[in-house]
Amino acid sequence: MMPSYGKKAIEDLLPHRGEALFLDDAVVEGSHVSTHATWTDSHPHLAGHFPGLPIVPGVFLIEAAAQSAGVLLASLGDGAARLGLLSGVRKSLIHRPVRPGERICFELDVKQIGDTNFCSAVGTAHNEVSDKVLTVELTVAIVMREAIER
């Protein structure tokens, strides 16, 4: 059975909270993770981005993809003790604007690169009518939380 996580379960895996936690749910299947994120009109950043024309910032989409990779990495056994930190954006294409209320589905393949502390997270995101909104290739550093708490 594929591990699936709701918002509360994601909070056990990621340190993000409040408006900084973008993911609503996640399903992990081997090295693949599927997640959903929706930004509402009430998100504090959207009032100014842009006034009268709220558009989800492209960096939010990239961050949501990074959080998706983080869920997969944390689900591998160490839970929230094992953090995936975004350390590189090797490629990002934002295909169309995302408006508040759109439910965005992220599909990413996450793979550790050899015997390094880095993973690649490669995938896309689509809206509810299957329009592609994001193509992304991230580098995610795997760190133990205690190593950066010092």
Partner 1 sequence: MNETTETMTSALESKIGAFLRKLLKLGDDVPLDAEADLVQQIGLDSIEAFDAVASFHELLNLPIPDDFNPRTANSIHNLSNYLMDRFGPDAAERFLDLDLDKVTLGGDQEDL
CA separation (Å) from 91 to 66, 82, 94, 134, 144? 13, 24, 10, 10, 26
Binding to partner 1 (CB under 8 A): which residues in 77-116?
A: 87-88, 90, 113-116
CA distance 76 to 33: 12
In whole angstroms, how close is the CB of 96 to partner 1 at the nearest point? 20
Nearer to partner 1, 34 or 139 (CB): 139
Least Å distance, CB 80 to partner 1, is 22
CB of 117 to partner 1, least distance (A): 7
User: Closest CB to partner 1 among 8 and 150?
Assistant: 150
Which one, 38 or 87, has the nearer CB to partner 1? 87
Binding mask 31-70 for partner 1 (x = CB under 8 A): ----------------------------------------
User: Which is closer to partner 1, CB of 90 or CB of 103?
Assistant: 90
Of 101, 122, 100, 124, nearest to 111 by C-alpha is 122
Applying CB under 8 A, which residues contact partner 1?
87-88, 90, 113-118, 120, 139, 141
